Amino acid sequence: MTSGNDGGPVLGLGVVGLGGASLAMIPKFAKNPGYRIAAAADIDEEILGRFRADNPETETYAAMELLCKSPSVDLVYIATPNRWHSEHARIALENKKHVLIEKPMTITLDEADVMIKTADDNGVLLGVNVKHSFEPRVLKLSQLAASKEFGALRMINSWRYADWLYRPRTGEELTPAFGGGILWRQGPHQFDILRTIGRGMVRSVRGLAATWDAARRVPGCHTAYLDFEEGAVATAVFSGYDHFDSRELVHGPGTVPAETHAQARAELRNAPTADWEEEAARAERYGGERQMSAEPRPTGPGGGWILGGPMVVSFDHADVQLSPAGLEVFDDERRYEIPMVEPGVDGRDGRINTYYEAIVNGKPLPADGRWGKATLELLLAIEESGAKRAEVRLSHQVPAVDV
């Protein structure tokens, strides 16, 4: 930890895993005056070399164990495959490094318990990178639920249709036992947002994660009905089968060009070699030729993950929907918009700023390990509910921490 120009401490960040998740976060950490990127680790030497060439003053390691021993690192950001989260978090935490781990925090409740205990035993913080739950629109809706400005929260409905399942996926992402499929890869965002707005305490869930294409091996969609302790309910729908694109329901008909329909399916179907998909997925990692911009456009069909589908939140005296400019309110008497867009600012900023405040100023950490475990419990319950075709009660839920 060093001092910045304003006298505040600057936290040394160690990045573990240089894939798509870290590509979205690295630019935000680099721009934030409270952090400096001190080190990076990846098992792919070519990808690590690309990073080293772009960041010659940053420490680089082929083994994350060595990164975690570096005195330059205060916070370790873990963006490795799901099945390694628990082990990688343990190594970092036992080296007394704070940890920010990608969603889902792990794939079993027992592993989550070990991670939480290890953080507590070593006097460091464990947080989960559910960055979209820190998006200003989501935080405002959570505040409206807490303040009861429009009366009691009654209902949340979230829909999303995308091409996720047919974009280039790694073997990890297509292996059910490793936490693969839409429920585990995208569900943590969607359900964490619902829990954030609903203030956290889900009583029970009835749901299903379904595999409709055996060639892709993992569930490509999910649907769920959540019952909150205080009486609100929520529905979540997510399909990654590359048919309908729900951005049209946010930005308007025709905003998704017709020529892009089923483009991901077509690219996969026309793959030139059997190894194409794995190679294409690798090319989306750091410095690869398919690497996408980590900066979402503020408006239009791109609009960021948060505007990938409609969400309507119902209170006693208003319905509120996400809009490209912020939140659109339909209350008892009128319809109006609450502007929420600040250029260059999104949920990633909120996530890393709250972590800085927790480490440096001792403020409560939102989306900590216990919160992450509660979202993990919900994912597992949806799988159980689908298998049993029955409602599942939850027992590890925790209330939201205000940001």
Model confidence at 289, in pLDDT bands (50, 70, 90)?
A: confident
Locate 378 and state its tokens.
Answer: 């919900």
Among 8-22, 87-101, 299-313, 324-338, the range scoring the smallest mean pLDDT is: 299-313
Amino acid at 82: N
Average pLDDT over residues 153-160: 98
> What does pLDDT average to over the chain?
93
Q: Angle at CA 367, nearest 5°, toward 68 and 164?
A: 85
> What percent of the chain stands above pLDDT 70?
95
Each residue's pLDDT tens digit, 311-346: 999 999 999 999 999 999 999 999 999 999 888 899
Residues 80, 179, 272, 262, Cα dihedral to 10°: -110
CB 136 within 8 A of CB 350: yes
Hey, which CATH number is domain 2-129, 3.20.20.60, 3.40.50.920, 3.40.50.720, 3.30.70.340? 3.40.50.720
Model confidence at 149, in pLDDT bands (50, 70, 90)?
A: very high
Model confidence at 266, in pLDDT bands (50, 70, 90)?
A: very high
Q: With CA atoms as reference, report the closest residue to 69 among 108, 42, 49, 41.
A: 41
CB 368 within 8 A of CB 93: no
Model confidence at 294, in pLDDT bands (50, 70, 90)?
A: very low
pTM attached to this predicted model: 0.94
Q: Angle at CA 361, nearest 5°, toward 201 and 144?
A: 35
CB 200 within 8 A of CB 238: no
Hey, which CATH number is domain 133-342+377-393, 3.40.50.300, 3.40.50.1100, 3.30.360.10, 3.90.1260.10? 3.30.360.10
Model confidence at 296, in pLDDT bands (50, 70, 90)?
A: very low
Q: Locate the domains of the chain by residue range.
A: 2-129, 133-342+377-393
Distance from C-alpha of 81 to C-alpha of 44, rounded to nearest angstrom = 14
Torsion sign, CA atoms 92, 93, 95, 97: positive
Distance from C-alpha of 231 to C-alpha of 80, rounded to nearest angstrom = 37
CB 151 within 8 A of CB 317: yes
Question: Is the predicted pLDDT of residue 22 greater than 80, yes or no?
Answer: yes
Distance from C-alpha of 89 to C-alpha of 316, rounded to nearest angstrom = 43
Locate 86 and state its tokens.
Answer: 């628990």
Each residue's pLDDT tens digit, 204-245: 999 999 999 999 999 999 999 999 999 999 999 999 999 999
Each residue's pLDDT tens digit, 364-401: 999 999 999 999 999 999 999 999 999 999 999 999 99
Model confidence at 59, in pLDDT bands (50, 70, 90)?
A: very high
Residues 6+ apart with CB under 8 A from 117: none
Distance from C-alpha of 73 to C-alpha of 67, rounded to nearest angstrom = 8
* Residue 124 DSSP one-character state: -
